[in-house]
Amino acid sequence: MLLTVLGGGIVGCGIRAAAQSPWKLKISLNAPSLSSPAVPFAIFDFDPLPKFSAALGEMRESFKKQLHQAPDAEQLEIIRSVQMLIAWNSLFAEIQNKIVALSPSEVPKLHVASGEPPGPKWIVSMTVLLKGESHPVCWSQRAVVEYGKTVPVIFGEGNLLHLEPIYDSIMAARGEKI
């Protein structure tokens, strides 16, 4: 799905001349604790959580080696955070040219329109940091879109996806202590 910034906080996604009105998303950012300067995101046609778990599973052994080489607890936590970031953001590797960003100061709202097929979509952010959080967080909001309708999506602090519990579960899959 191609995302193109049209200006004024409006994005067009593969809009084609069609007999049907495009489906639309109104995406808002409401995260006062955000310490990242922007929230890069994309629209997926699939739930990214199973792919994240699979990516962690594939990287598990090399990640564990890195963790065992940490000289102290502080470095261990930094390595864990970077590993979560790498695994989650790997989901975006195939769609680098289809990522748009919300900025709390410049573009806190975007309108997305698409003539692509309707149905379930996941509006997924890359990892970000919040003030006071030591591990990356993100958003993965499911929306069912229909031609001619607008669906609101809010990236807020109340609907953050904390990656650490998923990471811990996969990394300790064999009952080992991390």
* Strand pairing category for 100-102 and 39-44: antiparallel
* Local structure of residue 71 (DSSP, 8 states): S
Give pLDDT tens digits for 52-109: 999 999 999 999 999 999 999 999 999 999 999 999 999 998 776 677 887 776 767 8
pLDDT value of residue 19? 62
Alpha-carbon torsion (139, 142, 145, 151), positive or negative? negative
For 93, residues 6+ apart whose C-beta sits below 8 A from its C-beta are none
Task: Write down the residue that tokens 């046609």 correspond to.
Answer: 45
Percent helix, strand and coil across the chain, each to the nearest 5:
35, 35, 35
Task: Write down the residue that tokens 């195939």 correspond to.
Answer: 94
Q: Percent of the chain beyond pLDDT 90?
A: 65
Please count the other Cβ atoms lying within 10 Å of the Cβ belonging to residue 142. Answer: 12
Residue 68: CA count within 13 A, CB half-sphere:
9
Q: Amino acid identity, residue 104?
A: P
- pTM, two decimals, is 0.83
Average pLDDT over residues 128-153: 94
Lowest mean pLDDT among 65-69, 92-96, 123-127, 156-160: 92-96
Average pLDDT, the chain: 85
For 157, residues 6+ apart whose C-beta sits below 8 A from its C-beta are 30, 31, 32, 33, 130
* Local structure of residue 69 (DSSP, 8 states): T
pLDDT value of residue 10? 42
pLDDT value of residue 24? 94
Beta bridge partners of 92: none
CA angle in degrees (0–180, nearest 5) for 123-61-165:
45
Give pLDDT tens digits for 18-32: 468 999 999 999 889
Q: Which one is predicted more confidently, 20 or 46? A: 46
Give the residue ranges of DSSP H helices in 95-174. 164-171
